[in-house]
Amino acid sequence: MNLEDTIYKRQSIRSYDATPLGNETLDEIRDFIDNAKELNPNIKWSYEILPTENISTMMRWKAPHYIAIFSEEKENCYQNIGFVFQQVDLFLQSKGIGTCWIGMGSPKNYKNPDDSQKFIIIISVGMPKGNLYREINQFRRKALEDISDKRDERLAPAQFAPSASNTQPWYFTHNDDGSYDLYRVKGGVLRSRIYGNWNKIDTGIALAHLYVANGDSFKFYKKDNPKELKGHFYAGSFEI
């Protein structure tokens, strides 16, 4: 299956076969990651594929591998990581491999060689025990008209994006020139304390789906003076 079709089939996998993936597959994954598109090529990031023993999570299930992701702490770094690694999530799922973004976990007994990079998040990886894919009517997502100032089928790839606790914090507005502005829902103090950085990853994930569906035309940029939208943070602008 191609990456775009995978958007409408993928789901988070929380039950894995303990057998590790072969070295050839792991090398293919590394190759894909190294060539994924970035939102901000000026932000350094890195990753390591770690075994179960090197991960501590709050989850009761385990996967044979985890991608531990690190980044320089710069403006847009979380959104950039969401964007890069959602392409990886789609690639893995398109190949029949299960994945789940995990906010509630971190590496243990592993130190990133680059001290200037901070740990961001992990993603579990392995062969799923049950079905990998779901049907389109099994997605629990907000309606298209609730994630944008006007209903727009072109935003469907973002509508289906995964997010921390399925919060779906994205909101899109249309500009007269055909471009879009992206906003992130602010929420209350508690929500921003729990989901703040994860929701930044989420908007990057939604942008990755829009990029995968519009590979040739996708352009991302930040405006110096974006329009304010009550209850939201400006997260960037794009063309598709």
Ligand X SMILES: Cc1cc2nc3c(=O)[nH]c(=O)nc-3n(C[C@H](O)[C@H](O)[C@H](O)COP(=O)(O)O)c2cc1C
Enumerate binding residues for ligand X (CB under 6 A).
11-12, 14, 59, 100-104, 162-166, 198, 201-202, 205
What's the start-to-end Cα distance of the chain, in Å? 22
Q: In whole angstroms, how close is the CB of 204 to ligand X at the nearest point?
A: 9
Kindly tell me which of 56 and 165 has the beta carbon lying closer to ligand X.
165
CB 79 within 8 A of CB 235: yes
Phi, psi of 61 (to 5 degrees): -110, 165
CA-based nearest residue to 208, from 77, 47, 41, 36: 36
Least separation in angstroms between residue 181's CB and ligand X is 21
CB of 57 to ligand X, least distance (A): 7
As measured in angstroms, the least distance from the Cβ of 141 to ligand X is: 8
Which residue is at the shortest CB distance from ligand X? 162
Residue number with CB closer to ligand X (14 or 142): 14
Residue 121 tokens, joined: 């998040």
Count other C-beta atoms under 10 Å from residue 46's C-beta: 14
Nearer to ligand X, 20 or 103 (CB): 103
* Nearest-angstrom CA–CA distance, 67 and 47: 6
Nearer to ligand X, 103 or 196 (CB): 103
